[in-house]
Amino acid sequence: MDGVALPEGVEAKYEEFLAKDLGVPANRRPFFRKWLGEYLEFCRVRHLSVGTWEALEVFLEGLRKRGRLGFQVEQARIAVEVYCKNFQVKESLGSVSEGIVAPNSIPTDHSQASMGAGRASDPGFPEDWRMAFAALGKEIKLRHYSVKTFKVYHHWMRAFFRFLGVTPVKALTAGHARAFIENLAVERKVAGSTQNQAFNALLFFYVNVLKVELEGFEKTPRAATRHEIPAVLTRGEVQGMLAELEYPYRLFVQLLYGCGLRLNEALTLRVQDLDLEGGMIRVHNGKGDRSRALPLPKTLVSDLRKHLQSVRALFEADLKVGFAGVFLPEALERKYQGAARSWAWQWVFPGGRLTVSEADGKLRRFHLHETSVQKEIKAAAEAGGFAKRVTAHTFRHSYATHLLQMGYDIRIVQDLLGHKDLETTMIYTHVLQSQAGKVVSPLDV
């Protein structure tokens, strides 16, 4: 195996675990060993602890930047998690042997469980900071914030810790927070949205975790928020994009455009969210924890029926191998026992591989990964020769703009998009005005 060699006896057990417990075919096992070897070498060179969440995240991000495909990154993650959770290596692996974490302590994005003490227990932090991070996770869970919010806030608190050095938590003042924000803006020259994100994370940390009033911090200049007019595709361009996509990504993008869904809203659709007979689609826990019902395009009903037949076949095959079900939030898992293995709760767009659950170490299926969708859309735009920057969100922008072009009231569009404020929806009126040619250039007169 490439990279750092495993301790004597562990490699054979790791191979056996891949074969018997995960059911990895013999021709694929070398790839798992390869990713693990690369990870161990990565940790050795950088003097990182093997079992820490930070080390794994940095390693995976490096793979993404080198152009590794989504399934390869996921495969690497599973390879490392299986090793860290199931093989408590006591023998020395040089400088990387310390900090091997216990099973279930490397978080993933699959449930609220990733807000637990796993990241806070990183041995690289002093005890007072580990306790503060644990309290951060607790406060976020109490408010039912999303896992993404937790990851963002935790990221900025780690950056804050690195900026301060060894400053004890009890010694933190408003001056420390202000100095950090100023460093981001002046020295690192981060984008305005990034600066404001860090500001909000620090404000939450001080007020809700440390219970400290940030006297004077509120006077720290906030970066100006830019309201850019979104890029919008014409109907012809939408059809051109769809022609470049293959199944299931074409169907996925058709839902993005046909219903105005956000990327994560489409990824997390469950079978029970589709009402094919009634022609409706239900979006639960959208941005701002708001839910809404949307009309389902009639042209997609037939394709969705065929797609769900394929998903059903995959689901039944999973049941035969004894999988534990799809990922569910902790509360739902407890309230509806057995729901994870029921047809109604399966993903409309399931991922291609089973994933090891951090909670119980069992095989579960996650939905299609957002990275794979983004890469397919980018490839389709390049293949179609589009000069515009096309992302998953572009189809939502196009949906809203085309509805307004068709004469629908802006408040109806606001409800369909799930916007809290009408002002947010008003941005699409600027797109309409620019496209309608209401202002004639002097050059054309």
Active site residues per annotation: 262, 287, 393, 396, 419, 428
Calculate helix-pair angle for 235-244, 249-259, nearest 10 degrees: 160
Q: Please report the sign of the dihedral spanned by the C-alpha atoms of residue 114, residue 116, residue 119, residue 123.
A: negative
Task: Using DSSP, state whether 326 is helix, strand or coil.
Answer: strand
Cα pseudo-dihedral 86, 88, 92, 97, rounded to 10:
80
Q: How far apart are the first and last CA of the chain?
A: 72
What phi and psi, each to the nearest 5 degrees, are found at residue 66?
Answer: -85, 5
Cα–Cα separations (whole angstroms), residue 258 to 261, 298, 415:
8, 10, 15
What DSSP designation does 280 have?
E
Q: Which tokens go with 44?
A: 């050795």
Rounded CA-CA distance 206/180 in Å is: 14
Residue ranges of alpha helices (H) inside 268-389 are: 298-320, 330-335, 370-384
**Cβ(15)–Cβ(33) below 8 Å:** yes
